[in-house]
Chains A and B, each alone.
Chain A
Amino acid sequence: MRKFISNKFTLFALGILFVIALWIILSLCFDTNGGIFPSPINTFARFTELLREPYSYQCLGQTFKRMLVGFSISFAAALIVGIFAGNHQPLYDFLKPLMTVIKSIPTVALVFLFVVLLTPKDAPILVVIVICFPILYEAVANGIRKVDPQIVQAARVDGARYFKRVLVVKLPLAISYVIVGVVSSFSLSFKIEIMAEVITGTTSNGLGSVIHFVQQEDPTELTSVFAYSLFAIIFMLLFTLLEQIIKQVLIKQKD
C-alpha cells in the first residue's frame, strides 16, 4: 500500500484529482451564473465541442509555432552567449547587469515596445525571445561554470583543445542545468505567447486571440475561456510528461 501511494504516477494521478476537487469547490463558491467560474463539467463539455472544431487546432498550432520560433532563437542565442560567459568569468560579470535589466522589465512593457517596433502579429515572438533568453543563458552559463575544474584539467592534459573541451567535455556535463532551464522557460514561453497575443489585440489565429475574443463577447461567460485554456494546460502536461521521459533516458545513459 505504501509503495502504491509513493509511486510517482499514483501521486501524479492523485495530484490531478486534487486539482479537479479544488476546481469544483472554487466553482461552487464563486460561480453565480454558470459562467463566471465554470465547473469542470461545463468546461469539459465545451472543451469536447472545441475538440471537434478544426479552428481550435489551428489556433493551438499557430500559437505553438510562433512560440517555437521565439524559443528556438532565444535558445540558440543563449547557448552561444552562455557558453562564452560560462567559460570566461569577466564576460559573465560584464553581462550580469544586462541580464538583470532584461529579467526585471515588466513583460507588458516589452509587449508595448515591440508592437511599436514590429507589428502586433510579430511582437509576441520577440517577447518570448527576450523573456526566455536570460533564463536559458543563466542555465547554460551556470551549468558550464559548475563543471568540476579537475575534469576540465584532465581533458587539457589529454590534449583537448578549447572548443573540444567546451563542446565535448563541459557542455555534456552541464546538460542537466540546461534541461532545467529549457523546461522552465518552455512552459513560461507558451504562457507569455498567449498573454502577448491578448495584449497586442492581434486577430490572427492563436489561442490568445481566440481567448480574447470569447472574453470580449461576454465577460461573464468564461466557459469558453476555460475550455481554450484547457488546450494550453493539456499541451503543457504532455510536455511535462515528455520532459520526465527525456530525464529518465538521460539518467539511464549516465548510469
Chain B
Amino acid sequence: MKKYISLIAVALALTACNNGGKTISSESKAPEFDRASLSIVTPTGAPALAFYKYAKNGNFETNSNPSEGIIPQMVTGKKDVVVLPTNAGMQAILNKKADYQIAATITFGNFYLLSMNNDENKTLDANDTILLFQRGNVPDKVFHYVYGNDYDANVHYVSAVSDAAAAVNAGFFADANGNNVVPNYVMLAQPVLQTVLTKNTDKGYAVYADMQAKYKEKSNNQALFQASVFVKKTVNKDTAKAFLESLKGDIDEAIKTPDVINDSLKDIENAQTVYGIAPAMATAVTKNNNGMGLGFEYAKDNKAAVETFLKLFSIEGVNEEVYF
C-alpha cells in the first residue's frame, strides 16, 4: 500500500513540476500578438507605413480618400481599429457618436515649407506668395498656428499635396481667378517633398521651415499629434493593449532600422498602391531624420499635447471617456 501511495505521490509531484514549468515559461514571455485578429483601416501615406508588418494580413486595409472611405467606416463601426487625422477621428467620436476611443498617436507631422528660391530677401513675409494645400485641414491650421494670419493676403490653396507638388514642378499654379501665379513658398508633405526635390535639383529649391519643429517651438515643446489610432470600444481591452504594444514595437523598430520597411514590403507586388509610397522611398525618407514623422505615444499620457492640437480645430472640452 505504501508503495502505491509513494508512486502516486511521485506522479503528482512530477505533474505539478510539469505544470509549474509551463506557467513559468508563459509568464516569462507574453504570447505574441496575432496581427490578423483585429480589422484595421488606415489612410495611405505616413500612417499606413506604421503597419508595414500587416501587408499580408487580409484584415488590414488602406484607403486613399480618408474622408470618403474611412470616416464612414468609423461612424458605422465597421472596423476594430481606425487610423485617422486626430481631429477627424475626434470629430467622428464627438459629433457622430462613433463608438471608438483614441488610443495612441503614430504620426507627428511630415510638413515642410519649401522655398522656391525666388524670394529676394529670403525671409517669409507679407509680400510673399504662399501656396498651401487642404484649406481648413491640418496643413492650413498648422501654418496659421505657426505664422498667424499676417500673410493671408497672399496665401493661396490647392486641394491636395499632389497639386502643390505639381505647382512646384511647373513653377506656377492657377489661382482662384484662373491666373497663373508664381509662388515663393509652398507647403509640402513627405514623401512628396523628397520626390519634388529630387526632380528639381538644379533649381535651388530648399526646405525653408520644418513645420513640426516650428509647431513645437510655439506650443511649449509639444509635438504635433497628427494621426492617431482609434480603437472600437467593444474590442477586448487585453487584445487592444497587446495590439498597441505590438504596434509600438513595430514603429520603434522602423525608426531604429528603417530598412525593415523595405525588407517587409519589397516582395509585396501592390505595396506601392496599398501604402501610397514605394517601400524604397519610404525607407529613404525615414532614414532622413524620420522624415515621415513616425512615432508612438499613448494619447492618455499626452492629453495636453492632444488637446493643443485639437484646439487648432476648435475642438475643446474633450472628456476622459474618449481616451483609451
Instruction: Point out residues on A near B: beta carbons under 8 Å.
Output: 33, 54-55, 58, 111-112, 115-116, 119-121, 199-205, 209-210, 212-213, 215-220
Contact = CB atoms under 8 A, between A and B. Distances in A.
A243 B276 CA distance: 38
A217 B191 CA distance: 10
B269 interface: yes
Contact of B68 (A121, A201, A217, A218): A201
A219 to B, nearest CB: 5
B154 interface: no
A200 B269 contact: no
Given A115-B68, A115-B69, A203 B61 contact: yes
A119 B78 contact: yes
A201 B61 contact: no
Interface string B74-87: 01101000000000
B117 interface: no
7 contacts: A119-B61, A120-B65, A201-B66, A202-B61, A203-B64, A203-B273, A220-B169
A202 B69 contact: yes
Contacts of B272: 213
A200 B69 contact: yes
B99 to A, nearest CB: 15
| Residue with the greatest number of chain A CB neighbours at <10 A, chosen from B63, B166, B170, B269 | B63
A33 B170 contact: yes
Contacts of B273: 203, 205, 209-210, 213
Interface stretch (B157-165, B224-232, B241-249): B157-165
Nearest to A112: B68
Contacts of A54: 269
Interface in B59-118: 61-66, 68-69, 72-73, 75-76, 78
Contact of B65 (A200, A205, A219): A200
A44 B62 CA distance: 31
B166 A218 contact: yes
B270 interface: yes
B44 interface: yes
A121 B76 contact: no
B160 A218 contact: no
Contacts of A55: 269-270
A227 B163 CA distance: 21
B211 interface: no
Interface residues of B, number: 28
Nearest to B161: A216
A54 B166 CA distance: 29
Interface string B123-154: 00000000000000000000000000000000
A15 B208 CA distance: 53
Across the A-B interface, the 10 shortest Cβ-Cβ residue pairs:
A201-B65, A201-B69, A201-B64, A120-B69, A116-B72, A201-B63, A220-B166, A213-B273, A219-B166, A203-B62
Given A115-B72, A120-B69, A200-B68, A205 B166 contact: no
Interface string B247-277: 0000000000000000000000110111010
Contacts of B44: 203
Contacts of B270: 55, 58, 203, 205
B160 to A, nearest CB: 7
B64 A212 contact: yes
A120 B165 contact: no
A54 B169 CA distance: 31
A168 B187 CA distance: 68
| Residue with the greatest number of chain B CB neighbours at <10 A, chosen from A121, A200, A215 | A200
A213 B72 contact: no
B163 A219 contact: yes
Contacts of A212: 64
